Structure 1
Amino acid sequence: MLWTCAFGLWGLSRQDSVWRDEAATWQAAQRSTAELWHMLANVDVVHGPYYLLMHVLFTCFGAGTTTLRLPSVLATAVAAACVAVIGRRLAGRWAGLAGGMAFGLLPAVQFHLQEGRPYALVTAGAAISTLLLTTVLQRPVRTRHWAAYGTAVLLTGLLNWLSLMILGAHLATLLWTRAERAVLARWVVAAGCGTIGVLPLVVFSQSQSGQVAWIPPLSWHMLIGPAVLLAIGGTGALLDRPRAGRSSATAVGLPLLAVPQLGLLTVSLVQPIFLDRYILYSMMGLALLIGTAVGTAVQAAGPRFPMASRWILPATLAVAVPALLPQSLAKRSPASRVDDVLAIASDVRHLKRPGNAVLFIPSLRRDTKAVTPDAFAGLRDITLAESPEEAGTLKGVETEPDRIRAALLAEQRVLLVTDASPVARPARGARDRMKTAVLNEYFIPVADKQTRGRRVIVYERRSTRR
């Protein structure tokens, strides 16, 4: 836990940057409970419990990058500790220690270790439920263990219902270890109760499925990452020499790695949703298998080289940490994210003049205003009909294209907040096309600042119309 926390606290602010996904968390957390409920009825209900948690934390500790990201650091540390305990129980103390320390080093984990989103918390919940599963497999079955397991499944599913795919991994582990029928029956009850509690969220979130319409269909190059992970995990499993009917690190780790990966790939054939963050918890299986490989090496060297065997893990870390240092530094850089909503706040402050108008293309770029409202003080949002809070959305509701045109033609100086050139897309929708057309025909750009994926352009009215 200390090792993972140290990695999490290192560069936690990411040079005071917040990217668009984290800005959604920031906006939701700062709304009142009533405004938040209103928003969840329209968008992001799948993240509702997480937003409510962050609302409480922002209320108690104030808005900031530390409050935004520290829950993910602590949750990842909990997951690392669970991996260590599971590894120690199933493969020995060296395997547990190596697996727990390897978890925080994995590039995917390092990315979400400092992310103001729910995926690290989902991973912690999945880790706790997996730890409880190994408990019931190794000790006399007690009702409280199954109750805790069902509760962990429920809470994790409420944070992100795709975490329910871990139940497939747990079932594979039970079948691999040839669990008794009584154990299987109790698992079905506990897992079923947890799943039933999540079903209302699953059903309601389907009405908002358009929010993931941007995810591209599955293609062959998307299979490379899972294939590499499964190859690495399979190598660690072979070193463990797993046998059916016996609890082992492989019996837990390999399904934990493989089933969510394969499950999400299968679902993506019907509805494209393949994003590795949705199954971040599968990295616990990879860490467990890596730890098992290190533990096997220590055990093999122990009888002949007892003193040297104790240095296998430190030596492995001494090689792994420098080798992954470029990745670690990159993950803590603002450039690791597609943009930074805070980056242009200072540019807006310097470029604006009292009474100027402000435009956003697309309207979701209004998140910069929501996160840094002081930077936009004195600017008039001339296209906004309903604020995001009033509309119960993250971007608000804009007026009709004709009214946008009329409002723009009444202005002399306009600030446009949009995406920087490398990540910008052509204007979509009638409103954005109208904004672009009027600016190009009746205005000329007099200032242009681009920083970390965001851009602010100052337009002034042409002296003569064409």
Structure 2
Amino acid sequence: MAQSSRTVRGGELATSDDAPTRVIPRPRRRIPVTARPTAVPSPRADVLFWMLPALVAAALGGWRLTAAALWADELATWGAVRLSWEQLWRLSAAVDAVLTPYYAMMKLYTAVAGTSTAALRLPALAATVATSLVVTALGRRLGGRDTGLAAGLLFAVVPVTSRYAQEARPYALAMFAAALAVLCLIRLLDDPGPGRAAAYSSALALAALSHPLSALLLLAGHALAVALRQVRVGAAAWYGTAAWIIAAVPGGAAALILVGLGYRSRGQIGWIEHLTLSGFDAVPDGLFLTGAVGGIVIGLAVLAVRRTDEHVCVAAAAFTPLLVLLAADQVMPIWVTRYVLVAVPALAALAAAAMLRFGRTQAVVALALTVALGVSTHLRIREPDGHGEDSARIASVIGPRWRPGDVVVFADSHRSIPWAARDIYQRYLPAPRPPDVLRVSAQRTDGRFLATECPAASCLGNPPRVWVIRVDKPSDPFQDMAAGKRQLLREHYQTAQRWTYALLTIILVERKPSAAG
């Protein structure tokens, strides 16, 4: 009987009469990385993933929410919501048309919540917390759970986020709408459908009603992202492009209409000056309130850009508003960093994606460095003058010093914020106080933004002392006043004492001896 042996070939047992017995091992299958089983996060971990950025945003936004006094723009909100509906519509027809939707929303809200500083700022805080959730979702689309968590946390801790979470203006709401619109755009291009188109259209419309100029800048970024996708993908992208065009029409139309109405009162932004070439390096500092943090976030955001649909959409939303407004400013002065805050959520998401590419440890270090560099700014913006105007000081200066017979006057021709001084007087100087003797009708009535005063200060009388309240620091206390009022005060009064704070100067003038005689 012939000697036989067995071999395994290709994993099967084979025999041979002459060959020695040997076993050929079966090749081990290599499991691709993408096919390896992944751990399913527990429900508790999933809740933490979403809630941690929101909790941090809420904690920082609520920390000393009322410490900084209301500044000129916030006082404009306070003044508008106290008007009757008829007066608000008349005011909107003349000035502030772009902010009419925000004022209307705030008027409905304050009818229930009141007009305290905390009440006026709470809607912005709520919008900021909601934005942190959307930024977390954006980060997750760019790089998974870790990137989402890092994006939400980064957005929450940069000082500019909590600064505008404590601002009674529409910028926080505009940031929320902008972040939501980018997320909805990604979903729409990924799988076009009526529901996703409606969601995108609603988010863009909310952005337009919050701040129409910012919405147009954001829409320019979306248009660029869709165009780049069309070029890259070709005919297969036409369905998504068409869906975007249709969905963008309502929000874009609303933004254009409001900007057109606002253009009629463009004198209100006459104080804006061209951003010079030497001022370009101050953009990160202006946008993030500290140049170091701004440099880190913008630099990382640039490194994160990739050619995927998600990255292109987020990058276009991050950089296009800045570049378009900078370009427009070369034609007419319009650059104000508040107008491009809609780019901050997208910048945070991109920066987080770059951080995680270097590894988790490096991402934690970068996040910690951002926090450390922003601490001093967080403290500064929560000082009494943290919003740039030390409005509440008026009470401690005039309150204990005024006497019966004193009156108060205002520089009502100031080129930037002429309403602010009178608002500070009404908001922060409780009665009894020196009377506003020149006023005939209040601010924001009869379609006029400024109060109506008696001509040539004819109702001034002969007071021994006059308190002049200003929002600048001129050497001449009567600068920027109507000609008749300026002439009368210069002729009969001289400076006795002056107090100067951030965007608040209080000057006490006394009647000249010759005039008194």
The TM-score with structure 1 as length reference comes to 0.87
Alpha-carbon distance change, 257 to 444 in structure 1, aligned in 2, over 3 angstroms: same
Distance 2:145 2:429 in 1: 52
* 1:297 to partner: Cα distance: 2.1
Distance 1:350 1:124, change over 3 A: same
Rounded Cα–Cα distance in structure 1 between residues aligned with 2:275 and 2:242: 36
Give the counterpart letter for 2:309 in structure 1.
Answer: S
> What is the CA–CA distance in structure 2 between the aligned matches of 1:109 and 1:92, rounded to whole Å?
23
1:380 aligns with 2:435: yes
The partner residue of 2:245 within 184, 188, 205 is: 188
Q: CA deviation at 1:105?
A: 2.6
1:449 positional shift:
3.6
Q: Deviations over 1:429-448 (max 9, x none)?
A: 561x5444433432244444
Question: For the structure 1 residues 55 and 425, does the alpha-carbon distance in structure 2 shift closer, same or farther, using more than 3 Å as the test?
Answer: farther
Amino acid at match of 1:333: E
Matches within 5 A, 1:190-339: 190-226=247-283, 233=298, 235-239=300-304, 242-243=306-307, 246-248=308-310, 250-298=311-359, 309=360, 311-339=361-389
Post-superposition offset of 1:280: 0.1
Which residue of 78, 85, 88 corresponds with 1:33?
85
Q: Structure 1 residue 412: deviation in Å?
A: 2.6
Alignment of 1:11 with 2:64, yes or no, is yes
Whether the 8 Å CA contact 2:142–2:353 is kept in 1: the answer is: no
SS in 1 for 2:135: helix
Q: Distance in 2 between matches of 1:456 and 1:19?
A: 16
Aligned partner letter, 1:153: L
Q: Which amino acid aligns with 2:143?
A: A
Q: Find the residue that maps to 2:75 and give its secondary structure.
A: helix
SS of the equivalent of 2:404 reads: coil
Q: Check conservation: 1:109, 1:280, Cα contact below 8 A.
A: no
Task: Return 334-343 or 270-279, whichever deviates more.
Answer: 334-343
CA contact (8 A) 2:158 2:371 kept: no
Moved more, 342-351 or 281-290: 342-351
Q: How many angstroms does 1:226 deviate by?
A: 4.5
Change (3 A) 1:170 1:231: farther
Structure-2 separation of matches of 1:346 and 1:185: 61
Matched, 1:52 2:104: yes
RMSD: 2.6
Q: Secondary structure at the match of 2:399?
A: helix
> For residues 141 and 22 of structure 1, do their structure 2 counterparts lie closer, same or farther at Cα, with a shift above 3 Å needed?
same
Q: Paired residue for 1:454?
A: 504
Deviation at 1:154, TM superposition (A): 1.5
2:195 — aligned with what? 144
Contact in 2 for aligned 1:24/1:394 (Cα 8 Å): no
In the TM superposition, residue 268 of structure 1 has moved relative to its aligned partner by 1.5
TM-superposed CA distance for 1:147, in Å, is: 1.2
Q: Which amino acid aligns with 2:492?
A: Y
Percent identity between the two aligned chains: 29
Q: Does the CA-based 8 Å contact 2:124-2:165 persist in structure 1?
A: yes
Aligned to 1:126: 178
Q: CA deviation at 1:282?
A: 0.7
Residue in 2 that maps onto 1:352: 402
User: Contact between 1:27 and 1:394, CA under 8 Å: does it hold in 2?
Assistant: no
Task: Give 1:372 deviation, angstroms.
Answer: 3.8
Distance verdict in 2 for CA 1:373–1:335, change over 3 Å: closer
Q: Please tell me whether the aligned partners of residues 408 and 438 of structure 1 are also in contact (alpha carbons under 8 angstroms).
A: no
Deviation at 1:120, TM superposition (A): 0.9
Deviation of 1:264 (Å): 0.6
Which letter does structure 2 place at the counterpart of 1:262? Answer: L
318-327 or 218-227, which deviates more = 218-227
In structure 2, C-alpha distance between the alignment counterparts of 1:176 and 1:383, rounded to whole Å: 60
Q: Label 1:407 to 1:417 Cα distance change in 2 as closer, same or farther (>3 A).
A: same
Contact in 2 for aligned 1:345/1:368 (Cα 8 Å): no
Output the CA distance in 2 between the equivalents of 1:239 and 1:418: 47
On the 8 A contact 1:86/1:134 being kept in 2, the answer is no
Change (3 A) 1:148 1:128: same
Offset, 1:183: 0.7
> Contact 1:252–1:285 at 8 Å: present in 2 too?
no
1:103-145 deviation digits (Å, cap 9, x = unpaired):
123343333221111111111111111111121233x322021
TM-score between both structures, scaled by the size of structure 2: 0.79
- Name the structure 2 match of 1:368: 424
Distance verdict in 2 for CA 1:380–1:193, change over 3 Å: same
Equivalent pair of 1:84/1:100 in contact (CA under 8 Å):
yes
Work out the CA distance in 2 between the residues paired with 1:361 and 1:295: 54
Amino acid corresponding to residue 263 of structure 1 in structure 2:
V
Q: Which one of 120, 123, 140 corresponds to residue 71 of structure 1?
A: 123
Letter in 2 for 1:13: T
Write the distance in 2 (CA, Å) between the matches of 1:226 and 1:380.
43
Shift of 1:315: 3.8
Question: Tell me, what secondary structure is at the counterpart of 2:192?
Answer: coil
Q: 3-state DSSP class of the match of 1:352? A: coil
Q: Given the superposition, is the C-alpha separation of residues 393 and 424 from structure 1 closer, same or farther in structure 2, using an over 3 Å criterion? A: farther
Q: How far 1:296 moved relative to its partner?
A: 1.2
Q: For residue 455 of structure 2, what is the amino acid of its counterpart?
A: E
Residues of 2 paired with 1:166 and 1:261: CA distance?
Answer: 10
**Kindly tell me: are residues 235 and 455 of structure 1, through their superposed partners in 2, closer, same or farther at Cα, counting changes over 3 Å?**
closer
In the aligned structure 2, how far is the partner of 1:453 from the partner of 1:277?
18
Give, in whole Å, the separation in 2 of the partners of 1:154 and 1:267.
Answer: 23
Supply the AA of the counterpart residue of 2:437: I
Give yes or no for contact 1:448–1:455 (8 Å, CA) kept in 2: yes
Aligned to 1:306: none
Cα distance in 2 for residues equivalent to 1:261 and 1:441: 49
Q: Which gives a bigger RCO, structure 1 or 2 (Cα 8 Å, sep 6+)?
A: 1
What are the Cα deviations for residues 357-397 of structure 1, in whole angstroms up to 9, with x where unaligned? Answer: 2111235211123324633x453322223221434334212
Q: Which runs of 5+ in 1 are unaligned?
A: 299-308
Rg larger in structure: 2
How far, CA to CA, are the matches of 1:123 and 1:61 in structure 2?
Answer: 23
